[in-house]
Every structure is written in C-alpha cells, then in structure tokens.
Structure 1
Amino acid sequence: MNTPFYIARRYLWSKSNNNAINKITRIAAVGVIVATAALYIVLSGFAGLRDFSLSFTNVFDADLKVYPQSGKTIRTDANLRQAILTTDGVLAVTEIIEERVYLNFKGKNHIATIKGVDDRFEAVVPVDSILFINDWFRSGENEAVIGLTTSVKLSLGTYDYSELLEIYAPKPGTGQILDPQQAFRKERVVVTGVYNVNEDVDDTYIFADINLARRLLDYDENTISGLEIKLNPGADPEVVKTALAQHFGNPVDIKTRLQQNDALYKMLNTENVAVYLIFTLVLIIALFNVIGAIIMMILDKKGNLKTLQNLGLMGSEIRKIFYYQGVLLTAVSGAIGLALGFIIVWCQLQFGWVAITATLAYPVKPTLLNAVVVLATMLILGVIAANIASRNVNEKMLSRI
C-alpha cells in the first residue's frame, strides 16, 4: 500500500477541527472548479466560432484554386482541362475570370469584382446554398447575381427591367485618354438573384457568365484568371496539388482552401491561443488558493505529523502526503469543473441561452481535444502548485514539532 497516498486521500475528505481551514479548502476547490469550467467554455466557444466563420469559406471557396504566379491571366485549352479532370482525386473543374469593375445603377455607384464563371461552376461550388433570393443567372445571357450588401448599397432588386445594372471595366493600354467614354467597356445586365455568404464577400463579388466577362475585358476563349477545382471526398489536397502542378507550362500558384484563407485561419488561431493563455492565468491564480489551503493544512496537522514520525515515516514520505493531497484536490476539482463546463456548453447547444442575434445562438463546439487540453493544463499546474506547497514540510520543520 502507498501509505502517503492513502493518508492524503483520508485528509482530502476529512474535516479539520479548525473551521477556517475547512472554508479555505472549499474556496480553493470552488476557485479551481470555476476556472476549469471557464477555460473549457471559452475554448468551446472559440471552436464553435471558428467553425462558424470557416463554414462560409467551405461554401464559397473551392477545394483547390489555380492562380497565375505573375500577371492576371493564364492560358488554357481543352487538353489542359482534360488533363486536370483525369488527375487522381479531381471531381470537377471550372474556369473563372476575375477583375475589378465599376457598377452603376440609377446614379448609385459601387466598386466590385466581377467573377465570370462557366456552366461547370455549379459542380464545384454549391450555388443553391448561397442564393438568398430568386435565381442563378442563365448561361449565355446578360444576367448577373449580386451580393446582399451590394444589393442594399445600390438599392437594386432582382428582375428590374426598367433600368439595367451597368458594369464598367477599364480598357488596357497606355497613354492619355481625353474622352472618358473611351476609357471603359460597358455591359448592361439584369440581376436575376442575390446571394448571401458574409458581408465581405457580398460586398466584393458579382457573378456573371464567363463569356460576358470575356467581352467586358476583351479576353479570348483560352484566356482566364484561374481555375477552381472540386476534389473527390477523402482526396488529399496536397497530393492532388502536386500532381496538378505538372500540367501547367507556366508557373502557377495552386492553393488549398486553407491557403486561400490563411489570414483568417491565422487570426482565429491567434485569438484562440491568446484566450487560452489569459484563462490559464486565471487558473494559475485559482491554484494559489490551493497552495494556501495545503500550507494551512500542514500547520493544522502538526500534531499528526509527530505521530507519523514516531510510526516510522520519513520526512520525504510525510512531504508526499501533502503533495498527493494537493494533486487530488486539483484533480477532483478540475474534473468537476470540466463536467460543469461540458454541461453548460451542451445546454447552449440545446437551448441557445446566449444569442448573437434574435435568431442566431452563439456557436459552441465541445471537442475531445479541448477537454484534453483543459485537463492537461489543470493537472500540470496542479502538480506544480502541490509541489510548491509540500516543500513547506522539511527537516527543519519536522525537527521543531
């Protein structure tokens, strides 16, 4: 039998004759419970917020996107498209043309990016899931789909034939232009639908047929801005990315969905780490109460320590009693706190107690990884706190009993 552990376990559940020490121990336990629960709740909240933020990119961004490494365009043909489609892991590919344009509707103006897409775009990006009202544009027609933010800014609805949306794109070239009318190409389109992804995307992109974008920018049929690719379920994006790079004669950048949104991922991960460190500091402060409680317990048990010495326990074994007591107090309180945190997170999932808007509950996501991180953090800090407190039991102290 591990005698120090057995005695520490008895001390943990037994009440002291000194009521003040009992209160200090309870306060220390409650502090660890609250700090552990708070750490788990916050990490679950950030996990939910991360998934909520990235859910928009999962809908809008393709699994892989091919960009020109320099310049604005790349050359493509039927052979290249076939080579990409026959690459292992590739399910669908679509050509896109992107360029900044100027929008005008009834005297209201807006700068946006036209995204010309072909009929295969819907096989790569689920447009049905982003459409807010009405319909996607028809191929070969002067029609467009705009974002909700753009619609509000221009006071522009759908199927308004009384006055069409005007799209202007600057003509390439050098030299001075005296007539502004000669500086731009113009297309007039009917807005057939409004999409809604998030405020930034809604404000940026206007979707139209790729042939309309070609006319607007004076591109030939083999000139595009890039390719968007959908992968088979389970395909490794990095492996497919390496295989695709061999099909292009000129250098291109091929980015996974993660790389397309690397700034967003970095921001979310940085915020997650920052909050973890802040709440770990709260847990450290709570563990100071544990140190104080163990030290008070050592002083209260001085009479028992003499008895234990007479029974043959060494100073190191007596020190272990209070070390184990500190670890047990932290572990039990931490487990209760983690369970409490999980219950609160589960209730938020079920009942949406905290809401961002009237119809949107704050997103949370209970994960095993967060539970492991919280337990590991709490146990490591608890071991350190117990070790600090138990060092008060030394030979000098025992010799004075």
Structure 2
Amino acid sequence: MYFLFAWRYFKAKKSTNAINIIAWVSISAIIIGTTALILVLSVFNGFEGLVKSLYSSFYTDIRISPASGKIMTITQEQINQLKGLNGIKNFSLSVEEKALVQNGESQSVVYLKGVDDNYRYITGVADNLLSGEYDIGTSDAPKLILGAGVEGALQMYSDQLSAPLKIYLPRKSNTEQINMLEDISNDTISSSGSFRIQQDFDNKYGITNIDFVKRSVKLGIDDYSFVEILVKDPSEADNIKKEIKKLFGDKYIVQNKYEQNRSLYSIMNAERWVIYGVLCLILVVAAFNMIGALTMLVLEKQKDI
C-alpha cells in the first residue's frame, strides 16, 4: 500500500519538469553505474587471471637468487637440504646470461637461460611451444628454444629450425681488460623449437642446456644464477619460503611469485582501485542527485501530507 502511494506521487505531474528529469537521470545513472561497476570489475578480474596464468608459465612459485651480483654458489649440501624440505615438489638449477645470437645477417641480443632437465616440469614452456619440440640438447651438442619474438628478429622460419646459429657469450674474467679472443666465446647451436607465452618473454629469452652455458662462460661446478622451485601446495609457498631463508641465510634472496613480479601486481592492483574509485564516485554523485530529487519531491507534496 505504501509503495503504491509513493509510486503515485512519484509519477504524478509536478509543478516543474526539473524534478522529474533529475529523478529519472539519477535512477538511470545508478542503474548504469552499478551495472558498469560489476561488468568492468568482472572483466578486469578475468584479464588479471589471464595475465597471472601467462606469467606463471615462466615464473615458478619460489625463486632463489644471489643477494649481490649475477652468480651464486649452491653446494651439493644445499641441494640435498632443498630435497629434504616438505612441500617442495620439484626444483631446477639455471644460469642466465646475455648473449648475441646471429642467423646470417640477422642478429639479436637475448637472455640465454641455461637450464637442467627438471626445468620443463616446473614451468609451462614445454606446453606453450609454437613450433618444433622441447629439446635443450647436451653440453657438447646443445639445442636452443627461442621465444617467438627472438625467432622473428632472427628471421627464422619453421623450415629453418635446424639451421645452425652463431652464439657469442661473455666469459667470466678476473681482469678489467677485455680480450675479444679470450673473453668472448663463439659457438654454433641448433634451434629445436620456439615458444610463445607473453611478449615480455617471447622477445627476450632463449633456453638451452645449462652445462653448455656454464662451459661457455667458464663458471664453476657450483655456480648458478637461480634455483627455481615448484611447491606442492601454492598456499604454503610463503611458509616454505621462510624455511628456505633460514637454511640459506642472507647471501641469497628468496622470492615468491608475487615478489618476482612486484611491479606487475602493483600496477594491476592500482588499476583495479582506480576503476573502482571512479565508478563509485559516479554512483555517489548519482545518489546525491537522487536525494536532491526526493527532497524536492517531498517539499512539493508537503501540503498533501
């Protein structure tokens, strides 16, 4: 009954059309704003999930890196300690170095990532192959898996994947003077395939055998750039990270997936809050207009009360 009276007065002809216009504009703004808020946040959450899944194909749950410099020492005892930790499903040792790859007249600077056999089981690279096969070869006969962007920069095609490439790597040196003959390694390597994950990785990385990279840059047997870890339960990643930090000490940086991509996640969170804030501001303005329209309606009908 009360609703019928309210609706009768709301629809009744006013002394001015301004109240009617403001009321309907306010109602429309609230409906559209609320719908837009739900849709935009839903789409953004879906987009965020897609981006996270793409980055998860390359980054692992936990990564150990050197606190200073590019190379750290990981002893067999430390490897055994990792194997003994509960919650760790698998891990991979890797070495990363910038290299110049040449295919005929085409050249490209890549981040050459030397990995062991476990790497294919802790990342999604093998599941995102664009062409060829996942094969990193051996120390004496290495194979190279290129990002799709690097493959394009080198003007390589599917029928040329087996063509030998020239690769130049800086060797580890104890002197500040550079001797081009001694401090730069020059090898040939065959491409076994290419991957496509996300542009940041596709345009930068090439993956090959870790022993080949260590031999080329003259690293020691216990020298590595990263230890990349896959955990059994991602919700326990932070607890496992704390245990690893206790075992390894301050000479190593232990990061979870969020910390490895801090800038990406920070930007995405900031974008979400900006969108939420703008749409909420629209709803607040519409609500004030609605309150104003109702106030004017009450004042107009006060004589009937």
Q: Please report the TM-score for the alignment, with normalisation by the length of structure 1.
A: 0.69
- Change beyond 3 A, Cα 1:220–1:73: same
Residues 1-400 of structure 1: matches in 2 within 5 Å? 9=3, 11-16=5-10, 17-19=12-14, 20=17, 21-22=19-20, 24-140=22-138, 141-158=141-158, 160=160, 163-171=163-171, 172-177=173-178, 180-248=180-248, 251-305=251-305
Residue type of the alignment partner of 1:93? F
- Change beyond 3 A, Cα 1:136–1:298: same
Cα shift readout 1:183-218 (whole Å, capped 9, x = no counterpart): 411221110100001111111110001111111211
Shift of 1:143: 0.6
- Aligned equivalent of 1:392: none
Cα shift readout 1:19-45 (whole Å, capped 9, x = no counterpart): 545554333212210111112222122
- Change beyond 3 A, Cα 1:303–1:276: same
- Change beyond 3 A, Cα 1:274–1:234: closer
More strand by share: 2
CA distance in 2, matches of 1:197, 1:30: 42
Q: Secondary structure at the match of 1:155?
A: coil
Q: Secondary structure at the match of 2:160?
A: coil
Q: CA RMSD in A?
A: 2.1
Q: Which has the larger radius of gyration?
A: 1
Contact 1:145 1:194 in 2 (8 A): yes
- Change beyond 3 A, Cα 1:86–1:176: closer
- Aligned equivalent of 1:361: none
- Change beyond 3 A, Cα 1:150–1:212: same
Contact 1:89 1:235 in 2 (8 A): no
Cα shift readout 1:209-264 (whole Å, capped 9, x = no counterpart): 11111112111221111100000025511110111123326620011011101100
- Change beyond 3 A, Cα 1:61–1:191: same
Higher alpha-carbon deviation: 160-169 or 107-116:
160-169
- Change beyond 3 A, Cα 1:54–1:162: closer
CA distance in 1, matches of 2:76, 2:181: 36
Residue type of the alignment partner of 1:34? I
Aligned length, in residue pairs? 298
Contact 2:48 2:268 in 1 (8 A): yes
- Aligned equivalent of 1:322: none
Contact 1:159 1:192 in 2 (8 A): no
Contact 1:90 1:230 in 2 (8 A): yes
Higher alpha-carbon deviation: 167-176 or 18-27:
18-27
CA distance in 1, matches of 2:94, 2:49: 27
Contact 2:136 2:145 in 1 (8 A): no
Shift of 1:116: 0.4
Contact 2:162 2:190 in 1 (8 A): no
- Change beyond 3 A, Cα 1:75–1:196: same
CA distance in 1, matches of 2:254, 2:274: 31
CA distance in 2, matches of 1:42, 1:132: 32
Cα shift readout 1:237-295 (whole Å, capped 9, x = no counterpart): 11101111233266200110111011000011111111111222222222232023212
Q: Secondary structure at the match of 2:57?
A: helix
Contact 2:150 2:202 in 1 (8 A): yes
Contact 1:160 1:190 in 2 (8 A): no
CA distance in 2, matches of 1:136, 1:238: 31
Residue type of the alignment partner of 2:168? Y
Cα shift readout 1:58-96 (whole Å, capped 9, x = no counterpart): 111111000011122122233322210210110101100
Shift of 1:152: 0.6
CA distance in 2, matches of 1:191, 1:234: 34
CA distance in 2, matches of 1:162, 1:58: 29
- Change beyond 3 A, Cα 1:50–1:151: same
Contact 2:37 2:279 in 1 (8 A): yes
Higher alpha-carbon deviation: 180-189 or 267-276:
180-189
Cα shift readout 1:135-170 (whole Å, capped 9, x = no counterpart): 012441321100000011110235737852122112
- Change beyond 3 A, Cα 1:26–1:161: closer
Q: Which structure 1 segments of 5+ residues have no match?
A: 1-5, 306-401
Contact 1:96 1:226 in 2 (8 A): yes
